[in-house]
Structure 1
Amino acid sequence: MLRRVAIVTDGPGWHGCRLVRAFRARGFEAVYVRLRDCRFDLSCSWHGIVMPGFGQRLPDGVFVKSVPGGTLEQVVLRLDILHALREVGVPVYNDARAIERTVDKAMTSFLLRRAGVPTPPTWVVETRDKARAVLLKETAAGHRVVIKPLFGSQGSGLRLLSAGMDVPDLAQYQGVAYLQRYIDSGEGRWHDYRVFVIGGSAAAAMRRWGVCWISNAARGARCEAVEPTPALAQLACDAARAVGADYAGVDIVVDRQGDAYVIEVNGMPAWRSLQSVTRINLARCLVEDFVSRCVAPRLEAAC
């Protein structure tokens, strides 16, 4: 029987093409699936999940590259599909719970702190007055504060707040202020590390040199491959484990004193910039881990 997997993405593009090739090399046909096209139909099969391209048969595994935004109800339904697939025994990589934990910065920070992973002091509040109180206390102690959207990526919406500044209107942040102490990696030499964790190991890493304090490749940062120190690699793996991610892009900042902090854990990371500076075939590594650790044991058990 032909082995088939689904790649969940709205726009296959560069990443999708590489994943398809890597799956083909492992003997799998990969089918692109948009979550917005999936649905529940409890009258059509024993499992009640409809995925275009698979009929009544479910995929042998599901690789989640992206989950599109939408209304609260639409996003919940799309994640429900991923939850349901796992409930009926289909391996999902990363699964819905890991995605929920990493998309939500507040939950990510909570889980990192709970697991003892170093992360900057963080506050999440719903009123401007409470946010102002945090800012006043932090700046009085000589710190600066970053305000971020609770949901967001690629450095969008970030603002650095210093003494004498006011908290912006929270309507810009959907009524929630996510505030985090700013970690200074070196004024004028802004940089951070992206460590790509696959299956509990640090597969590759890069240093991103920012043109400003936001060191995202999407914001013009210059990327260079690095061999992470054992400490950085372990920190990244601990962070991925804390949120339950099979694979993750872990962002780490090292301050002037040499102390490292996990800033974010990305549960649906892009890796094009990292691939451009490393010889490691990241799509192949992802597929190898997914197939060997998640899909193959299920197929063998079914024989």
Structure 2
Amino acid sequence: MAENLSAGRILIVSDKPDKQVKQLCASFKGFGADPFFCPLADIAFDTRYPSGIAIPSFDGALPAGVVVRSISSGSFEAITRRLGILHALTHMGVPVWNSAKAIERCVDKSMTTFLLAQAGLPTPQTFAVEGLDNAKVVVDREASQGPLVLKPLFGSQGRGLKLIHSVEDLPDPADIDDTYYLQRFVERTAPPYRDYRVFVCDGEILGMIERCADSWITNIARGAKARPVAALLHHKLEELSLAAARAIGTDFAGIDIVQADDGGLQLLEVNSMPAWTGLQSVVPVRIAERIAAAMCARIDSANRERSAA
């Protein structure tokens, strides 16, 4: 399988060549690699080639490594095929960050919270059910203890979030594909509302920010402000974030954590395709450069292992 690899060529998978893709390309060039940007939708299974995969401009060869920046939305069939490409690249011995397995675990919020809870990590009580009647049972039972947050099972950047105080707040099944992901709302004194985003890469913390907003939805994309994190919290956030990344199996990730009024930290999400614009505005570490350095080191290590075999 290794003979199909294209030495030095790095594939960056993204819907568009956004600012972070450009940063990654520049960083990989700085390490002597040859980066190439391509949407995952443009990569095909093609059994004419020994690799079985056709990537534009690669002539049947495979990249030395892959960084997945984003995957566009699509039908179930389209997403299944795209993730199949990532699975196939891993099968062929190509380092893929993040792997299809890790992406699947993160994109499905119910699986993320399941794995975090199974690892014994603190995460809000979560209930994922199908059907309005089943959702009403959950809300009837749980709402007396405080509101729940309804989240899209597949979603990002704070879109589609809703506070649920009673069964009357539940949306029509057709609006959410008849799937209800409900998580206990973590009470904290506000406004401003605060939570934390910690960026992990290859087992290291690259940086963290406090996100502050007047709304309980604290995504930077929704107008939240990025601020440095108080030093007192650094160690606890680092420990929790590294444990979350191990539990999910991500090579790099944005970990979202919230602190309740009682001081306890709760893991909310693990993002396998995180943006870092807000983080980069606060921390001195060059995020794209560190991702590129870690990927190049991984490729070099894999090459040495193959040479020694």
Please list every run of 5 or more consecutive structure 2 residues that lacks an aligned counterpart in the other structure. 1-5
Structure 1 SS opposite 2:21: helix
Q: 1:245: how far off?
A: 0.2
Question: Could you tell me how far 1:279 is from its partner in structure 2?
Answer: 1.2
What is the one-letter code of the residue matched to 2:175? Q
Opposite residue 152 of structure 2, the aligned amino acid is P
Q: Matched residues, percent identical?
A: 41
Equivalent pair of 1:197/1:237 in contact (CA under 8 Å) = yes
- Which residue of 1 is the match for residue 34 of structure 2? 29
The match for 1:189 is 192
Normalising by structure 1, we get a TM-score of 0.95
For residue 299 of structure 1, report the CA deviation from its aligned partner: 2.4
Q: CA deviation at 1:164?
A: 7.2
**Between 248-257 and 225-234, the greater mean CA deviation after superposition:** 225-234
Deviation at 1:189, TM superposition (A): 2.4
Distance 1:170 1:87 in 2: 38
Judge conservation of contact 2:257–2:268 (CA < 8 Å) in 1.
yes
Asked if 1:258 corresponds to 2:263, the answer is yes
Q: Does 1:130 align with 2:147?
A: no
CA distance in 1, matches of 2:135, 2:167: 14
Task: Compare 249-258 and 222-231 and name the one that shifted more.
Answer: 222-231
Paired position in structure 1 for 2:238: 233
**Contact map agreement 1:208 1:223 (CA 8 A) in 2:** yes
Q: Is residue 207 of structure 2 the alignment partner of residue 209 of structure 1?
A: no
Runs of 4 or more consecutive aligned structure 1 residues displaced over 4 Å after TM superposition: none
Partner of 1:221: 224
Q: Which residue of 1 aligns with 2:57?
A: 53
What CA deviation, in whole Å up to 9, does each residue of 1:204-260 have, x standing for no partner?
A: 000000121111111111111225521111101111111100000000000000000
In the alignment, which residue of structure 2 is the partner of 1:8? 13
Gaps of 5+ in 1: none
Aligned to 1:176: 179
CA distance in 2, matches of 1:196, 1:300: 28
- Give the conservation status (yes or no) of the 8 Å contact 2:7–2:64: no
Q: How far does residue 165 in structure 1 lie from its aligned partner after superposition? A: 4.1
Structure 2: distance between partners of 1:106 and 1:50: 33
Deviates more, 1:220-229 or 1:255-264: 220-229
Please give the alpha-carbon distance, in whole angstroms, between the structure 2 residues aligned to 1:148 and 1:20: 33
Match of 2:112 in 1: 108
* CA 1:302–1:163: 2 relative to 1, 3 Å: closer
**Whole-Å Cα distance in 2 between the matches of residues 161 and 271 of structure 1?**
30
* Counterparts of 1:74 and 1:47, CA distance in 2: 21
> Distance between the aligned counterparts of 2:209 and 2:188, measured in 1?
15
Pair 1:281 & 2:286 matched: yes
**Counterpart secondary structure, 1:205:** strand
Aligned residue for 2:90? 86
RMSD over aligned Cα atoms:
1.4
Q: 1:207 to 1:244 in 2, by over 3 A?
A: same
Partner of 1:72: 76
Give, in whole Å, the separation in 2 of the partners of 1:12 and 1:80.
Answer: 22
Q: C-alpha distance in 2, partners of 1:153/1:236?
A: 19
Deviation string 1:258-303 (CA, Å, 9 cap, x unpaired) is 00000010000011111112111000111111111x2111223444
Q: 1:120 aligns with which of 108, 124, 128?
A: 124
Cα deviation for residue 135 of structure 1 reads: 1.4
- Residues 1:246 and 2:251 aligned together: yes
Q: Say if 2:187 and 2:260, in contact at 8 Å, map to a contact too.
A: yes
Structure 1 CA distance, aligned partners of 2:129 and 2:62?
42
Kindly tell me the number of residue pairs found equivalent between the two proteins: 300
User: Whole-Å Cα distance in 2 between the matches of residues 121 and 77 of structure 1?
Assistant: 33
| CA-to-aligned-CA distance 1:48-93 (integer Å, 9 cap, x gap) | 1111121122111111111111111111110000000000101101
Task: Give the whole-Å Cα distance in 1 for the aligned partners of 2:173 and 2:193.
Answer: 27
Q: For residues 179 and 84 of structure 1, what CA distance do their matches in structure 2 show?
A: 34
